[in-house]
Amino acid sequence: MCIRDSVINYFEEDSTRMRGSNQRCLKDQQGILGCLPTGLADQPTHSGATVTGFLTQVAGSFLGLQFPADDFANSPKDPDPRKQYLDFTPRYEVEDLMVSLEANLDFSDYTLTTVLGYHESDFNARNDYDFTVASEQWPVTVDVDRGPDGVITIDRAYSSDRSTTEPEQYSAELRLASDYNGDWNFMLGGFYLDYEGNTHYYIYSAALELFGRTTGIPQEQRLFDNDTTDYNLETWAFFGELYWQATDTVLVTTGLRYTEEEKSSRQRTIYLGFLDDPTAPDGGYEDFGGEWEEPTGKFNVTWDVADDVMTYVTLSRSYKSGGFNPISAESPLLEEDPSVAEFDPEYINAFEVGVKSRLFDQTLQANVTYFYYDYEGLQISTINNQTSLNLNYDAAIQGIEGEFVWVPTDNWRISADIAWLDSEMDGGSSLDTADINRLGTTENVISSPNSNLYIGPGCPEGVFPCSGLEKELDGNELPNAPNFSVNLGVSYGFYLDNGMELVAATNYYWQDEFYTRIFNTGNDTVDEWDVWNATLTLFSDNRDWFVELWGRNLKDDDHVTGQYLGDQNVGLATSQFLLEPRTYGITLAYNF
């Protein structure tokens, strides 16, 4: 018998929502850092410390004209994080198609499973780059070419960005599983994936146009374009599991996997005349690539303590391949440390023990798990000198997760998911680009348009000035790892005479504070937050369709849910993401 399951998902959006939500800064009045590392406030960045300030002052010296020392000196800033002063209307356009097909063929004592997948997407989003409107006028006007958004004539600091990606991937998986009557069974399989993509990150800026026009840089270079072209990932793997029913209540599983990956791309970064030259014979592109291979595996034992109670323990080693960063071969980062062009693989040695149970006549499901992950080369990203870098660190995580569902009657369903997490960096050091003197001040710091320089004591021998003093990381918490989180839910079902069911439900989620960077500073902290949601769902008598009225963030809170630190180009401002505002909607679904 052959059973086929197919899923097609298509999504399209064309809206004016922003990729981010808010930008915060405690203004550095000296204009060296732009934003101080000692706090976050609703203040505009000091533009004198940004690339805009640097480029306009240089252009002004050529032209014999005086440009503002701080373009944002009197720029408005609203304390409400959902209210932004922008001089570019955001655009968010995405078209996404996902197709999967699964076929199962049963014959004799075996099942052959084939899974095929296809995914393509087209993403194009534009945003106000500096999240504000410049208050100070320039002595000249410039025409800024913003690509698909046309040319704008402007007489002050102005910048917008654009992010595009066009990925396409094919995948195939084949599995053969046995179903013998004896104590031994197996599963063997293979996997293949081919991924191709092109990615651009553009910045269109009045300062880039002014500097380029003043110094004679060709028009096609008067922008910033981080370009990763013809990125290709090809990976395949063989895997298998062996199952031994040691006793009526004990099952032992051993699994092995061998993976090979090959990655390649052509990369360049157009940035005035500072980095790659698109007019060169090779277009300014450099080839990047690498190959990785690794065996991994797991060992698992389950024990059915009773009919409704199962315990288990698992030992495993997992792997994520290394890669190369989206960096220009001309980047000054490579002059100081050529190794940042690539990053190493990430490994996890994991231990997990838990219990799964259904108690009190199957009315209470209680699952509890303890886990410990030992990371070797954990890949963590940062933004430095116009480049998003993946860097490797050692770390460890342990935690406990509890999942509880209580169904006291046919109508009521009460659930609780509770998690505790403890994370810790295991040694290592790194440069905090927001605090290169480790003092939280501007002392011994020279302002630079792309990456500030340190002129105090402690630089490596033979290097002066240097990029800064690294901070020790041992014992720091991992980014985006709250210590506690809770998700509580309750629902009540009304059974109607015609066989339909109306279910009213609500859930409450709370999350502890966490850090967004490995440095664990006050500026890295996202406060605890919570949210209430609710649904009202009508199911048909045979559950082949339903209609759901839903409401999210019922209290209309504006909690910060994540953030990231920009580099010196934007004066070390922090971009934040907010909880979606109160939204309501109706969902119609039909199963066929």
pLDDT for 448: 80
pLDDT for 5: 77
Model confidence at 469: pLDDT above 90: yes
Q: Band the pLDDT of 2: cuts 50, 70, 90.
A: low
Model confidence at 129: pLDDT above 60: yes
Cα-to-chain-centroid distance, residue 235: 22
pLDDT for 449: 76
pLDDT, tens digit, for every residue of 20-70?
778 899 999 999 999 999 999 999 999 999 999 999 999 999 999 999 999
Least confident of 151-155, 249-253, 355-359, 450-454: 450-454
CB-based contact 160:148 (threshold 8 Å): no
pLDDT, tens digit, for every residue of 311-320?
999 999 999 9
pLDDT for 32: 94
Cα distances (angstroms) measured from residue 507 to each of 59, 403, 420, 431, 551: 57, 14, 19, 41, 11
Q: Band the pLDDT of 252: cuts 50, 70, 90.
A: very high
Average pLDDT for residues 457-470, to the nearest whole number? 90
Model confidence at 582: pLDDT above 90: yes
CB-based contact 327:334 (threshold 8 Å): yes
Least confident of 188-197, 230-239, 381-390: 381-390
pLDDT for 94: 96
Average pLDDT for residues 210-232, to the nearest whole number? 94
pLDDT for 374: 97
pLDDT for 1: 53
Tell me the CB-side half-sphere exposure of residue 296, using CA atoms within 13 A.
20
Q: Is 179 exposed, middle or buried (0-12, 13-18, 19+ CB in 10 A)?
A: exposed
pLDDT for 384: 80
Average pLDDT for residues 247-263, to the nearest whole number? 97
Q: Band the pLDDT of 3: cuts 50, 70, 90.
A: low
Q: Band the pLDDT of 332: cuts 50, 70, 90.
A: confident
Q: 544 Cβ partners below 8 Å, 6+ apart? A: 590, 591, 592
Q: What is the mean pLDDT of the chain?
A: 94
Q: 302 Cβ partners below 8 Å, 6+ apart? A: 250, 251, 253, 310, 311, 312
Least confident of 26-35, 152-161, 446-455: 446-455
Bridge pairing between strands 286-306 and 309-320: antiparallel
Cα distances (angstroms) measured from residue 573 to each of 130, 398, 430, 451: 9, 32, 19, 13
The partner residues of 135 in beta bridges, in order of sequence, read none
Average pLDDT for residues 437-465, to the nearest whole number? 90
The partner residues of 233 in beta bridges, in order of sequence, read 195, 263
Q: 472 Cβ partners below 8 Å, 6+ apart? A: 428, 429
Residue 248 tokens read as: 């009526």
Residue ranges of E strands in 246-308: 250-271, 286-306
